Amino acid sequence: MTVPPPDVVRSAYAQLAVTDLAAARWFWVDMLGLHVQHAGDRTLYLRGTDELTHHSLVLREGPVAALDHLAYRVRTAADVDRAEAFFRALGRPVRRVPAGAGAHGVGDAVRVLDPLGFPVEFFHEIARGERLIQRYDLHRGAHIARLDHFNICTPDISAAYDHYRSLGFGCSETIEGDGHELYAAWMYRKQTVHDVAFTGGAGPRLHHVGMATHESHQVLRTADVFGSLGKEHHIERGPGRHGVSNAFYVYLRDPDGHRVELYTSDYYTGDPDHETFRWNVRDDRRRDFWGNAVIESWYKEASPVLDLDGAVQPVAEAALDESAVRVGADGLGTSAEAPAGS
């Protein structure tokens, strides 16, 4: 018997373990402008200007910089129970987290270690936040509007695709080889390009959290300000235009190396017959529409992931390596094997 999945509304928040909360606050609050909704003992709860729920990012000070957990909001309280039944049927580790025992402001929740090895929470109830969208006097830094998505490193993209399809996610875009083998996929529940995307590589690891701004000039200005302060080493890649998603982007690294993407201008995916757009892995526009090279750290570096007891998890290596695919002079290139010993 197939156990029905919970009705997932959207990617809701990420909780990151950081080693120096003051340094993390400088980056996420002073530089990026996230609003501090609640400051706990060694924890900060942050959100963007458009978010009406309590938080979309939690920073918790701890001994190791890592992903603590990802969280999805589900449609009803009964969907929290459905999440528990769904992951128990898969034989995965499952914990009930009663209101008050987990994240501040979040009601009864379920935390699981999913089949990809990620700690994932499903919750319905969450405290409200004051409407800030027109509190322009409070907008700072990158003027982040909201959390948009998670991007996770996982060694088997097809397995990740199958798991999220079983949770009812649609697929907006893929990167595929000539035999349609999956190098990456973008999957959604809310009506945008994605709530979660998969980057091939050793995993489970967190590649980045995506934070949405309203306009591309906010992405550009953020890069300018990092440069002005001599903090340009926090800028890893971009600004640029993605082929996949069409988003305008810049990737930054926080003081612990956690990666964030400032992201704007993707598109609507809510029609029931929305079709997957498929990129060939040899199309050099897929990762940057202008053909700018992707630096190696972006492909290779990512945050470790904790298990439900807070221990760093081991990773498995990926079979496919998108960074080893070479693009040739004809603009389409060839799928080359990495040289031996490279």
For the chain, give the number of residues.
342
The residue whose Cβ lies closest to Fe ion is: 210
- Output 136 or 268, the one with its CB closest to Fe ion: 268
Residue ranges in the chain assigned as alpha helix (H): 21-25, 77-89, 157-166, 216-228, 296-300
- Output 148 or 256, the one with its CB closest to Fe ion: 148
Stretch that binds Fe ion, among 19-27, 30-38, 151-159, 211-219 (CB under 5 A): 151-159
Which DSSP string do the residues of 8-22 spell out, in sequence order?
A: EEEEEEEEEEES-HH
In this structure, is the dihedral angle defined by the CA atoms of residues 266, 155, 261 and 322, taken in order, positive or negative? negative
- CB 151, min distance to Fe ion, A: 5
- CB 53, min distance to Fe ion, A: 21
Residue ranges in 169-320 assigned as alpha helix (H): 216-228, 296-300
Is 173 a binding residue for Fe ion by CB under 5 A? The answer is: no
Task: Give CA separation, 271 vs 115, 170, 196, in Å.
Answer: 29, 11, 19
Between the CA atoms of 131, 149, 16 and 72, what dihedral angle is there, to the nearest 10 degrees? 80
Binding mask 232-271 for Fe ion (x = CB under 5 A): -----------------------------x----------
- CB 30, min distance to Fe ion, A: 23
Instruction: Assign 216 to helix, strand or coil.
Output: helix
Binding mask 15-54 for Fe ion (x = CB under 5 A): ----------------------------------------
Stretch that binds Fe ion, among 107-115, 146-154, 221-229, 250-258 (CB under 5 A): 146-154
- Output 130 or 215, the one with its CB closest to Fe ion: 215
Size of the site for Fe ion (CB under 5 A): 3
- CB 116, min distance to Fe ion, A: 17
> Which residues have CB under 8 Å from 200's CB, separation 6+?
153, 154, 155, 157, 183, 184, 318, 320, 321, 322
- Output 170 or 210, the one with its CB closest to Fe ion: 210
Nearest 5 degrees, angle CA 145-CA 304-CA 88? Answer: 85
Single out the residue of 49, 53, 151, 269 in contact with Fe ion (rule: CB under 5 A). Answer: 151
Stretch that binds Fe ion, among 4-12, 71-79, 153-161, 210-218 (CB under 5 A): 210-218
- CB 319, min distance to Fe ion, A: 23
Is 210 a binding residue for Fe ion by CB under 5 A? The answer is: yes
- Output 173 or 261, the one with its CB closest to Fe ion: 261
- Output 87 or 198, the one with its CB closest to Fe ion: 198
- CB of 45 within 8 A of CB of 68? no
- CB 300, min distance to Fe ion, A: 16
Question: Which residue, among 239, 154, 242, has the nearest Cα to 202 in the 3D structure?
Answer: 154
- CB 206, min distance to Fe ion, A: 11
- CB of 315 within 8 A of CB of 116? no
CA-based radius of gyration for the chain? 19
Q: Please confirm whether the linkage preceding 239 is cis (ω < 30° from 0).
A: yes
Residues contributing to the site for Fe ion (CB under 5 A): 151, 210, 261
